[in-house]
Amino acid sequence: MTEVSTGQQAVDELLELLDLRTLTGNTFEGVSPKIGLQRVFGGQVAGQALVAAGRTVDPERHVHSLHGYFVRPGDPTVPIRYEVENIRDGRSFSVRRSVALQHDKPIFFMSASFHVQEEGLDHQGRTPVDVPLPEEVPTMHERLAKYPERLGIWELIPRPIDVRYVNEPGWVRPGDRPSEPHQRVWMRFDGKLPDEPLLHACALTYASDLTLLDSVLSTHGAVWGPGGFQGASLDHAVWFHRPFRADEWFLYDCWSPSASGGRGLASGRMFTLDGRQVASVVQEGLLRPVGY
């Protein structure tokens, strides 16, 4: 079996995925890792779409928000073409529309807005308290070691991100997960990233899709997989508030305001170790019982 990439090697492989090939001035091409997944990971296509949009914008303008929709499952064996439309370049803002296509059909589209640095009012919501530090929380592998049948794809895919759940993840056995209103996870990219703000924003976008829908299940003490649910992202929105590095620890504090009709809404906030809120995320996902 091929050894799974972890640490800096996995981070470097992710950076290669984000280094899109330029086809024309506003058209780019990306690929997916060769790991046997049935569909492209949503965080990957969102991150690549943001790379494509950002390459058409003055680097002095940094992304402050993105809003995307997943419209078809992506095929990981086929390259993805990203077409970027220049919606507007104003005095302070630039807006782009980035569409991901396979077989000449859109699988994802995103609007992203970029803003020059300005001074203004500054406040944020209350930082979560009484949360253990990352080194006090078990690693993902340590948490799942007692559930070998649940390791599944986790043992097969590259792991560029060190993910540490503060409470039980959604990959435990049915009945082993208590009902909890918040799903809190420490994350950091497990290697050094270049000093390029756009890449850190793309990396954070990639990470933001990993555990967010978990909070819908945690509200009910439900789990992923056999005896639980299967899910898919429907849309995704991120707002970037303050400078950050994705290769330093951040707390992803997630909860679910509502779930109904087979869909669940999840909201999350990201905080640095010193308590600065650097991003907010909202996503709706399709959640169906396994075997539906």
pLDDT in the model for residue 1: 38
pLDDT in the model for residue 146: 83
Which one is catalytic: 48, 215, 218, 233? 233
Q: What is the pLDDT of residues 199-223, one digit of tens each?
A: 999 999 999 999 999 999 999 999 9
User: How far is 216 from 234, CA to CA, in rounded Å?
Assistant: 14
Q: What CA–CA distances, in Å, run from 150 to 4, 140, 144?
A: 17, 12, 7
Which one is catalytic: 215, 256, 277, 283? 283
**With a threshold of 0.85, does the pTM exceed it?**
yes
**Paired tokens of 119:** 């001074």
pLDDT in the model for residue 78: 95
Catalytic residue list contains 233: yes
Phi and psi at 102, nearest 5°, equal -135, 140
pLDDT in the model for residue 229: 95
7-116+137-289 CATH fold:
Porin (2.40.160)
pLDDT in the model for residue 142: 87
pLDDT in the model for residue 197: 95
Which one is catalytic: 5, 102, 209, 218? 209
User: How far is 266 from 250, CA to CA, in rounded Å?
Assistant: 18
First to last CA, the chain: 32
Structural domain boundaries in the chain: 7-116+137-289
Identity (one letter) of the amino acid at 41? F
pLDDT in the model for residue 2: 46
One digit per residue, the tens of pLDDT, for the chain of length 292 reads 345 667 899 899 999 999 999 999 999 999 998 776 678 999 999 999 999 999 999 999 999 999 999 999 999 999 999 999 999 999 999 999 999 999 999 999 999 999 999 999 999 999 999 999 999 999 988 888 888 877 665 665 568 999 999 999 988 889 999 999 999 999 999 999 999 999 999 999 999 999 999 999 999 999 998 899 999 999 999 999 999 999 999 999 999 999 999 999 999 999 999 999 999 999 999 999 998 7
